[in-house]
Amino acid sequence: MAPAMAQTVVYVGDTTPLSVAAVPGNTYQWELYSDGSFNFAEVTGNCPASSAVFAGGNTGPSVNVKWLNSGTCFFKVTAYDPVHCTNNLKIGMIVVEAAALPTATFTPPDPICRGETGSLSVVLAGTGPWNINYTDGVNTWTVAAIATTPYVVTVSPKTTTNYWITQVTDKNGTCTIPSQSVTLQVNSKPASSNIYLYQP
């Protein structure tokens, strides 16, 4: 394991796997730090449990860390040879950002004829389940507990209508920035006529 400095961006609430290539006979110990202004080889981990914790232990070539607060954290993994002498260190920096807010957008729908039902496909980003509010500018509808993306809502406008999403919520928060609108074209049905010009 060669000394290295790595930087990764994660989000509050994420659990991140950290790993090194295992060498037979070696053991590994991981530590977390809230500051990087010292000699990592001489200082033990000082990251408070309110900021980050190991999920499942801090030994072995692979560990998982759950990030609980935004900021910059550092990790150190120390490899020990079979007689427990320090073999090598690896140090990395993790930038923990506030969880990203969800997004939701409609994809442009196919036109329908008057009296038919139209389908609006919603593409969602974030961590489900999601709740969305969408509108035609007059009426607003709510769909809760959406488990998968894309998700399809059905509408039955009588005339060509614009639709857009006004709000989307997931476990990380609520985004109230309206999506771009899409237009559902409603065409008139053709007038009925005889198939033959002359009756038999």
Instruction: From 142, 99, 100, 101, select the one nearest 122 (Cα to Cα).
Output: 142
From 196, 35, 182, select the one nearest 110 (Cα to Cα). 182
By C-alpha distance, which of 111, 110, 107, 117 is closest to 179? 107
CB 30 within 8 A of CB 80: no
- The mean pLDDT value for 147-175 works out to 95
Q: Is position 121 within any domain?
A: yes
Per-residue model confidence as pLDDT tens digits over 17-29: 999 999 898 999 9
Same-domain pairing of 118 and 91 = no
Angle at 76 between CA 72 and CA 80, to 5 degrees: 175
60 close to 100: Cβ distance less than 8 angstroms: no
Residue 193 resides in a domain:
no
Q: Is the pLDDT of residue 72 over 60?
A: yes
Work out the mean pLDDT of the chain and round it to a whole number. Answer: 89
Question: Is the per-residue pLDDT at 116 higher than 50?
Answer: yes
**Of the candidate ranges 47-61, 124-138, 142-156, 182-196, the one whose mean pLDDT is the lowest:** 182-196
- Provide the CATH number for the domain around residue 161: 2.60.40.10
Confidence check: pLDDT of 198 > 90: no
Specify if 192 maps to a domain: no
In a domain, 195, yes or no: no
41: Cα within 13 Å, side-chain hemisphere: 5
Identify any residues that bridge with 5 across adjacent strands, giving them in sequence order. 91
Looking at the structure, tell me whether residues 93 and 13 fall in a common domain: yes
Residue 81: pLDDT band by 50, 70, 90 thresholds? confident
List the structure tokens of 165: 């999403």
Predicted TM-score of the model (pTM): 0.56
Whether the ω angle into residue 129 lies within 30 degrees of 0, i.e. cis, is yes
Which of 135, 153, 155 lies closest to 144, judged by CA? 153
Whether residues 13 and 77 share a domain: the answer is yes
55 plus 126 within the same structural domain: no
4 falls in which pLDDT band (50, 70, 90)?
very low
What is the rounded distance in angstroms from the CA atom of residue 47 to the CA atom of residue 31?
Answer: 8
Boundaries of domain holding 110:
103-187
- Nearest to 120, CA basis, from 134, 138, 130, 131: 134
From first CA to last CA, the distance across the chain in angstroms is 92
Q: Are residues 179 and 128 in the same domain?
A: yes
